[in-house]
Each structure stands twice: as structure tokens, then as C-alpha cells.
Amino acid sequence: MSTGSRSADVPVRGKRADALRNQQALVAAAAAVFVTSGVDAPIREIAARAGVGIGTIYRHFPTRADLVVAVYRHQVEACAEAGATLLAEAGSPFAALRRWVDLFVDFLVTKHGLAKALQSDDSGFESLHAYFLDRLVPVCARLLDAAVDAGEIEPGTRAYELMRGVGNLCVGHESNPDYDPSRLVELLLRGLRRPQSS
């Protein structure tokens, strides 16, 4: 009896894994299309990029809001997961912080269409700001703490205020494509360095 139930479970698990992979591929395709064409891009454009039919997208994401939420969460997770990897691989905690902030800037600049969508009245968007903070503030805090412990930056900078400052420097890019927030963010990060580390 247990053998029968185990064999019956195998295809279900395989199917779930396939469905999850398909869903992740759709989210990645949608993210790429949103960057180039905005969140109002035709679903057929996303389907073409993912190599699937439109019906497949609607099976996974019945509404555009569902798809926008999934893309936003996917990008937040990628930014969150990068923190530990960068800390392990970069030459120093400050180098890891700098590279993570570069990813964060890229996230902020390329999600401008998402930001506009998130200002709508759709109830599916209500918890996303809290999710963003819950996932990313601790990652930034860990990187800051590591850089402080290594003697590379002055103590006292809180993760939220750094992220808010970086976010404010990114605001001008949306209205002026010639404005490059990266240069000013680099100046901000240099200001965190201890004098002997610069």
C-alpha cells in the first residue's frame, strides 16, 4: 500500500517541479519585457519571449496584477539572495556592499514601470512594500555590519537610511534618461569609508 502511494506521488512532484520551472521562466521573460516595454506590454510579447502560448501565461497568472507581483517578488528575491554570495566572493565586505548597492540601483532603475503599477488601487500590491523592506533591509544591514567590523566604513549608518538615500538618488533617472544615478551613489558610498580606507 505504501509503495503504491509513493509511486503515485512521483509524477505529481515531477509535474509540480515542471510547473514551477515554467512559472519561473515566465516571470524572467516578463521581467525582461517590463524593462524594455513597461508593465503594460502586450501579453503576447511576454509569451513570445518565453516561447509559450498566451494561454500558458494566463494559467499561471490569471491577471496582469498577478504577473506584476510575481515579477516584483522575483526581483526582490534575486537582490536579497545576492547579499550572502557577494559577501563570500568579493575581496572585502565593502566591495561586497558596493556590488550589492549596484544591484539595488539596477533594481530601482529598471523597476520604474513596476513602481507605477504598484501605485494603483489593486489590493494585490498592498503588502509588497513591506515585503521589499523585510527582505532587503536585513541584507543591507548585514553588509554594513561586516564592513564596519572589517574597519572599512564608519559605524552608525543604518541600512534603511542608506537604501532610502540610494533610492532618492535614483529618482531622477525616470524623468531624465541622461541622468546617471550610479555616479552619485558611488560618491555616497565613498562618504561611508573610513579616512584610512579610501
Kindly report whether the global pTM for this prediction surpasses the value 0.85: no
Provide the mean pLDDT of the chain.
84
Q: Tell me the pLDDT band of 198, cut-offs 50, 70 and 90.
A: very low
DSSP code at position 175: H
Q: Which residues pair with 153 in a beta bridge?
A: 193
Question: What residue ranges of the chain are covered by domains with CATH 1.10.10?
Answer: 1-62
* Spatial distance between the Cα atoms of 78 and 88, rounded to a whole number of angstroms: 16
Q: Is the pLDDT of residue 46 over 50?
A: yes
Q: What are phi and psi of 193, to 5 degrees?
A: -65, 145
Which superfamily does CATH assign the domain made up of 64-198 to? Tetracycline Repressor, domain 2 (1.10.357.10)
Q: Alpha-carbon Rg of the chain, whole angstroms?
A: 20
pLDDT value for 13? 54
Q: Tell me the pLDDT band of 84, cut-offs 50, 70 and 90.
A: very high
Which amino acid is present at 40? D
* Spatial distance between the Cα atoms of 85 and 82, rounded to a whole number of angstroms: 5
Question: What residue ranges of the chain are covered by domains with CATH 1.10.357.10?
Answer: 64-198
Output the CATH code of domain 1-62: 1.10.10
pLDDT value for 9? 45
Q: Tell me the pLDDT band of 123, cut-offs 50, 70 and 90.
A: low
Number of Cβ within a 10 Å radius of residue 8: 9
Number of Cβ within a 10 Å radius of residue 154: 14
Q: What are phi and psi of 22, to 5 degrees?
A: -60, -45
pLDDT value for 47? 92
* Spatial distance between the Cα atoms of 121 and 107, rounded to a whole number of angstroms: 23
